[in-house]
Amino acid sequence: MVRLGFIIGFIALLGALLSGLAAYRVHDQELALDRIALARAIDVHASLVQDRLTERELLARVASGLFRAPSVIKPNTLEPLRSAIYAFKTDFVVAGWIARLKPNELAAAQAAIAAAGFPNPQIRSFDDRPISPADVTQPIDVLLDLEPRSNETKTLPGRSYDQDPVRSAMLTRARAEKRSVASDPVPLIRGNGPIGIIVAAPVVPEGATEPAGFVTFSYELASLMLANDDMSLFAVALRDPRKDGGELIANDQGVVSTRMAADGLAPSATRTVSFGGRDWQLSYYAKTNSVRRAEQTAIIVAAIGFAITAMVCGLFGYVAYNNLRLSREIQVRIGFERRLTAVIDELNHRVKNILAVIQSIVTRTLRHGADIDIARELLIGRIHAMSNVVSLLSESQWQGVKLKGLFEARAIPHADRIAVTGPDIAVSARAAQSLSLLFFELASHSDEGLSLVGKHPHITANWTVTGEEGDEVFHFRWEEFNTSEATRRPDSDFGLILLDRVAPEALGGTAKRFFTDVSYVYELTAPMETVVDMTERDRTDKISAPVRPVRS
């Protein structure tokens, strides 16, 4: 028991160490896989954002390049560009033409706005307050045309963005740098409208040094840079350039709001994208805690390992503790298996013999040219005789069959007219099979015709055992009275082979058949040693003997 306890303790210690090692490895692998998956997803998202931004900036550049020396006060300024703008199939909210007007051009601009069909042609500030042309002393930027035209956007032309802190800074920078520039995030169309970004591309006529105006495109921020959904591994926030620590984030409905970054909550990763001549920083926050998830997975793996270790220790202890008690049962089982193997081998041997005999019966009975009705009756009778002897052997556990039992009416035709005499000896299984077929073959030919005196044949079957012990001889005589060679049906080929060769050889003896003046006689002589076959009976006794456990 001490040794058993030591072994169980060693197994428990080894299992605990292996479980801990497995949990440690799983923790590291889960953490690494989560970080790799998150990094790849972030890289893909940042790349897609950059591609979208590049496409939008390219549209602004192409649109400004298509502008050919426009008249700043021409109505429907964007009309020549309409097909080109919509050919890009981008998701802009409003495309506009902002002209840089001199003070003496304001009246003509108002007339052009009115001629274009906009409801409010008056020049006014970005917050919709009228501007008196007399008060304007230097050029101002005024929205003259836009696409698409809707009930909401038609009210925008005529507004000046010189006093708008976001748009004014964007236009000033675009005018100075002579290239497309993006604004800070700003509400689009109206003060409470969706938050977005405006990109302005200056239009500089040939030979001029100052732009005549700007082609602008505005985009909603949510669809342009942010992608937050339930299936994403992360949430995206855009650094708000107007506030230190401020972030812009969109919900699943695409509504963008401003928030202050929480103290101590650092983004999992940041990426920088370029748009409108400036860099924009995207902050990515993982939706799941990789460390906590890895720890939970490691705890589960360790718990499973400890449980398996406990089960192994318990099972090992149970098996070892019951080993002595089960050893004797195992020995008995081994004996049963050996006996079962012997029984199966013996059964295979006997089945093969029976099948070989049946095959011979079928082949000989259904030979070519045989009468099918007679052959069918003989075949059924012969197989029935074999079945009868097998049943008798099964009842005796293959210990042999009493010779008189082979003359029962269920296996022998005309058994009621056969007078049987002789000692009631038990013949072996092989001898019983041969004798059963022999008796059937003799009896099946005994009633073919009537005798000369009009009586059915009278049959006698007797046997004797002669000689001293060890040299006994078995004598069998079959005699059919009131039968002659003319009235008895000739034996079939199978019958002749069985009578003259198969049965005598199976019993190791000899046989003869002949006609007398009043009868047909068949005699068989064989040594009792082969008729009884004690070796076969001894083998069957060993198989039938009860299995006893080996005493240790």
Structural domains in the chain, CATH included, are 67-224 (3.30.450.350), 334-542 (3.30.565)
Mean pLDDT calculated for residue range 506-526: 90
Residue 552 confidence (pLDDT) above 50: no
The three-state DSSP-derived secondary structure of 143-212 is: EEEEECCCCCCCCCCCEECCCCHHHHHHHHHHHHHCCCEECCCEECCCCCCCEEEEEEEEECCCCCCCCC
pLDDT class for 550, splitting at 50, 70, 90? very low
Residue 409 confidence (pLDDT) above 60: no
In tens, the pLDDT along 342-354 reads: 667 766 666 676 6
Confirm if 197 and 216 have CB atoms less than 8 A apart: no
What is residue 545's predicted lDDT score, i.e. its pLDDT? 52
Residue 390 confidence (pLDDT) above 90: no
What is residue 435's predicted lDDT score, i.e. its pLDDT? 85
Q: What is the pTM of this model?
A: 0.51
Mean pLDDT calculated for residue range 165-193: 88
What is residue 442's predicted lDDT score, i.e. its pLDDT? 83
Question: Which DSSP symbol is given to 45?
Answer: H
What is residue 451's predicted lDDT score, i.e. its pLDDT? 42
pLDDT class for 512, splitting at 50, 70, 90? very high
Place of tokens 């906590």: 292
In tens, the pLDDT along 429-475 reads: 778 888 888 888 888 776 554 444 445 668 899 999 998 887 899 99
Mean pLDDT calculated for residue range 104-109: 88
Mean pLDDT calculated for residue range 43-59: 86
Average pLDDT, the chain: 80
More confident residue, 286 or 341: 286
